[in-house]
Amino acid sequence: MLSSVTLREVADEAGVHYSTASRALNPATRSIVNAKTAKKVLAAAERLGYRPHPLARGLRTNRTLTIGMAVPDLLNPVFPQLYAGAEASLRDQGYWLLVGAGDDCGTPKSASRILIDQHVDGLIVANAHIHSTLPQNPTNQTAPTVLVNRTTDTIDAPSVACDDHAGIGLVVRHLVELGHTDIAHIAGPQFISNGVIRRQAFVAWMHSSGLETPPELIVETDGFHIDEGRRACERLLDSGARFTAIVGANDLMALGCYDVLAERGIRVPHDVSVTGFDDMAYIDRVHPAMTTVSVPFYEMGALAGEVMLTLLTSEDSGAGTLPTSTRLRPHLEVRDSTAPPAVS
Amino acid sequence: MLSSVTLREVADEAGVHYSTASRALNPATRSIVNAKTAKKVLAAAERLGYRPHPLARGLRTNRTLTIGMAVPDLLNPVFPQLYAGAEASLRDQGYWLLVGAGDDCGTPKSASRILIDQHVDGLIVANAHIHSTLPQNPTNQTAPTVLVNRTTDTIDAPSVACDDHAGIGLVVRHLVELGHTDIAHIAGPQFISNGVIRRQAFVAWMHSSGLETPPELIVETDGFHIDEGRRACERLLDSGARFTAIVGANDLMALGCYDVLAERGIRVPHDVSVTGFDDMAYIDRVHPAMTTVSVPFYEMGALAGEVMLTLLTSEDSGAGTLPTSTRLRPHLEVRDSTAPPAVS
DNA sequence: CATCATACGGCACTCGTTTGCAGTATTTGC
DNA sequence: GCAAATACTGCAAACGAGTGCCGTATGATG
């Protein structure tokens, strides 16, 4: 289906051999052919509406102009933002972004599928297990990879993420300034870098504020979802531990806290303050509007795309790849879910 | 980069010619080769971790196992849902879904780009202008196309959408039953089918309820976004017309109404009831929780994927394509943004 | 006018797979 | 045991574009 116009037809139209047409059409080799001939070929191509066949070209050049992006969950509004940013910067350079969604952060399965079965030129990974290895083909070769929003211990690849440590600092300081001392943390899964880093940051900032972090006030979850937040909040309340604020490791889990607290008649922020992380879309419209750490996801995605592009060109030029790790500055959005602790 | 193991290597490993290996590997042609030989080849392929080269295969068969999906705006949570549904049903059959996001509902530019530059086998279009034509290549050929969530006057392609007429009926009846008589409508853009159909449905249902629809109570917008909803609501209020309820053509525009009404000290639902359409993610958590028409977007996407698959197979078998138009039943979600009109 | 240097265009092979066709084993029937 | 039919398998030609290499045409120069 859809047989488009081929290079030979362009060449015939222009009255030259198709190899000449090929060179004329390719900006990199255009200088080889006579300027007049090139002009003729370009005109013919324009007239016929020639578009190079992407498969044929890819087969020959071994480049598909396609980048794969592995995300855990498109329904979390954070990832469409990441996607949009990356897509914008890649499209500028003629690249396509192919998204593969799948929750399997543990295995590099989805990434591997996208990498091998689609022959992408590079991979932007947003769902890395903290100990995951790079997806490889059986001959142990790999493709240029950029980690975004997540990092790993084990992969030596450039990453673009948020300065989670600073972000947690923002909320902890905010709560401390409000007068809170008994602060709980709903930690993310400890097999994902964000979960680990935010947890460690929470402990560090609490201690540097002279506050305790008793183990019963830190609850770990198995995923950054609303349900996990619910379960964690229930565990927290059922433990009987006293606290006046909850620092959620992301917005969705904080939303889960909202639900459980409401069910039990605990008012936010009057009885308990709640903070999130991400500043996902529409989180400023929930009730009460959530105080959270705003992460520039679009910019993060755009930057990841640019890093990918430099990776691709440096690979072409044979220069040694220089994995850089960038962390973007978040900022605090103070809304209505935080207040001074009630005097008891 | 990423040179994977090739068919010839598998054939060598199995000690057969590579054409034989090809036949053994392809389930459709496997019956041609000797069962023992096939077994040998399969084992060799397994051992070497062979994956067919997608570009080479696509070049030869003229099928890429990739479907393109054109959506207007990934940041509207509705479209990730559509995507997820379609992706799920297509992946089952080994197909990939490549999303192209772009607001250009008017031109089939993005669709055409995705169609020609990526050589997709089919196109799922979720951003059709009501008068748009199918994207074509210069030789006037086109690819199997399924419209989803939108329809057009001009394209004779199968479509999967929501029964908007019935959906609007649900909210209008709901408001009428609450006692509202002066009901306004924030209509979507009239170059998009949803905008037109919901507007017509609003007028029809109002009339069948014996109610008037004065022109000043229907405001059209230029896009299904929050900002457009804001502007429309301002126009509505500034017109001085009296009304006790607003039927928004989608949730985002209804959110825009929330904002303007709040700024002007008009309480929802006490002073004015507001309804949305779509039941997008997290709209049950805004304040007040929005009464809206729930549309099964995931199922819609999944169905679109299945329709696409039947289209592809019917094309193979040469059977005339049978464009069907499916409309999924929505249901009403009554929440806190609607109430009886205040007695004045 | 002859020779050489240069610039340009054409030939042919390549990427990895599918597939029509022909050829060769192998079996079956008599 | 021989012929014919069958069942496999191998050969080679595609698909469309890119590119090293060689031949030729063109120009310049002595």
* Degrees to nearest 5, angle at CA A101 with A100 and A103: 135
pLDDT score for A320:
57
Amino acid identity, residue A157? A
Is B288 found in the same domain as B255?
yes
pLDDT score for A55:
93
Is B109 found in the same domain as B178?
no
- Residue B336 belongs to some domain of the structure: no
For A249-303, give the DSSP string. SSHHHHHHHHHHHHHTT--TTTT-EEEEEE--TTTTSBSSPPEEEE--HHHHHHH
**Nearest chain B alpha carbon to A316:** B1
Band of residue B319 on the pLDDT scale cut at 50, 70, 90: low
Q: Does the pLDDT value for residue A185 go beyond 60?
A: yes
Is A177 found in the same domain as A276?
yes
Average pLDDT over residues A58-66: 92
Contact between A116 and B51 using a beta-carbon 8 Å cutoff: yes
Amino acid identity, residue A123? L
> What are the structure tokens assigned to A62, written together?
């071994």
Is B27 found in the same domain as B92?
no
Average pLDDT over residues B176-195: 96
pLDDT score for A29:
87
Phi, then psi, of B145 in degrees rounded to 5:
-130, 140
Contact between B54 and A287 using a beta-carbon 8 Å cutoff: no
The CATH number for B32's domain is 1.10.260
The CATH number for A244's domain is 3.40.50.2300
- Residue B337 belongs to some domain of the structure: no
| CA atoms of B50 and B44, how far apart (whole Å) | 8
Is A287 found in the same domain as A169?
yes
B274 SS3 class:
strand
- Residue B339 belongs to some domain of the structure: no
Question: Residues near A65 by Cβ (< 8 Å), separated by ≥ 6?
Answer: A54, A58, A94, A95, A96, A121
Residue owning tokens 């540097």: A208
Distances (CA, A) of A72 to A83, A104, A194, A277, B305: 12, 7, 13, 17, 21
**Nearest chain B alpha carbon to A258:** B285
> What are the structure tokens assigned to B67, written together?
């479907």
Is A302 found in the same domain as A289?
no
Looking at the complex, does the CB of residue B205 fall below 8 Å from at least one CB of chain A?
A: no
Is A223 found in the same domain as A74?
no
Percent of chain A with pLDDT over 70: 89
Q: Does the pLDDT value for residue A318 go beyond 60?
A: no
What percent helix, strand, coil does chain B show, rounded to 5? 40, 15, 40
Instruction: Tell which strand D nucleotides have any atom below 7 Å from a protein Cβ.
Output: 7-12, 14-20
Looking at the complex, does the CB of residue A112 fall below 8 Å from at least one CB of chain B?
A: no
pLDDT score for A128:
77
- Residue B340 belongs to some domain of the structure: no
Is A229 found in the same domain as A148?
no
Paired sense of beta strands A159-162 and B245-248, if any: unpaired
Contact between A1 and B80 using a beta-carbon 8 Å cutoff: no
Paired sense of beta strands A291-294 and A331-333, if any: antiparallel
Band of residue A109 on the pLDDT scale cut at 50, 70, 90: low
- Residue A103 belongs to some domain of the structure: yes
Band of residue B129 on the pLDDT scale cut at 50, 70, 90: confident
Instruction: Tell me the pLDDT of chain B averaged across its residues.
Output: 89
Looking at the complex, does the CB of residue A315 fall below 8 Å from at least one CB of chain B?
A: yes
| CA atoms of B91 and B245, how far apart (whole Å) | 43
- Residue B229 belongs to some domain of the structure: yes
- Residue A343 belongs to some domain of the structure: no
pLDDT score for A343:
76
Q: Does the pLDDT value for residue A316 go beyond 70?
A: no
Percent of chain B with pLDDT over 90: 70
Residue owning tokens 């074509």: B136
Tally of domains in chain B: 3
pLDDT in tens, A115-170: 667 789 998 998 877 776 555 443 445 788 899 998 887 777 899 999 999 999 99
Q: Does the pLDDT value for residue A25 go beyond 60?
A: yes
Band of residue B328 on the pLDDT scale cut at 50, 70, 90: very high
Query: For A82-86, A265-269, A306-310, B340-344, which range has the lowest pLDDT when averaged over its residues?
Result: B340-344
Q: Exposed e or buried b for every residue in A26-59, given b needs 16+ CB within 10 A?
A: eeeeeeebeeebbebbbebbeebebbbbbbbbbb
Query: For A165-174, A257-266, A271-280, B42-51, which range has the lowest pLDDT when averaged over its residues?
Result: B42-51
Which residues in chain B are contacts of A139 at CB distance < 8 A? 3-5
Is B169 found in the same domain as B256?
yes
Q: Exposed e or buried b for every residue in A68-82, given b needs 16+ CB within 10 A?
A: bbbbbbbbbbbbbbb
Q: Round and report the angstrom distance from CA (B34) to C1' (D2).
A: 26
pLDDT score for A107:
47
> What are the structure tokens assigned to B262, written together?
């709040």
Q: Does the pLDDT value for residue A1 go beyond 50?
A: no
pLDDT score for A35:
87
Quick count: other Cβ atoms within 10 Å of Cβ B75?
Answer: 16
Q: Does the pLDDT value for residue B3 go beyond 70?
A: no
- Residue A335 belongs to some domain of the structure: no
**Nearest chain A alpha carbon to B50:** A138
Q: Round and report the angstrom distance from CA (B100) to C1' (C14).
A: 33
Looking at the complex, does the CB of residue B54 fall below 8 Å from at least one CB of chain A?
A: yes
Query: For B115-119, B186-190, B192-196, which range has the lowest pLDDT when averaged over its residues?
Result: B115-119
Q: Does the pLDDT value for residue A8 go beyond 70?
A: yes
Is A72 found in the same domain as A45?
no
Quick count: other Cβ atoms within 10 Å of Cβ A261?
Answer: 18
pLDDT in tens, B233-268: 999 999 999 999 999 999 999 999 999 999 999 999
Average pLDDT over residues A326-332: 97
Q: Does the pLDDT value for residue A111 go beyond 80?
A: no
Q: Round and report the angstrom distance from CA (A200) to C1' (D1).
A: 88
Q: What is the dihedral of CA B151, B156, B159, B164, to 10 degrees?
A: 30
Is A179 found in the same domain as A276?
yes
Which residues in chain B are contacts of A281 at CB distance < 8 A? 75, 77
A67 SS3 class:
strand
Instruction: Please give the residue range of the domain that contains residue A249.
Output: 164-295
Is B71 found in the same domain as B21?
no
Looking at the complex, does the CB of residue B311 fall below 8 Å from at least one CB of chain A?
A: no
pLDDT score for B157:
86
pLDDT score for B22:
94
Q: Round and report the angstrom distance from CA (A126) to C1' (D13).
A: 44
- Given A253, A276, A295, the domain boundary residue is A295
Q: Which of the given ranges, B30-39, B59-68, B102-111, B204-213, has the highest pLDDT on average?
A: B204-213
* Degrees to nearest 5, angle at CA A322 with A318 and A325: 155
Band of residue B131 on the pLDDT scale cut at 50, 70, 90: confident
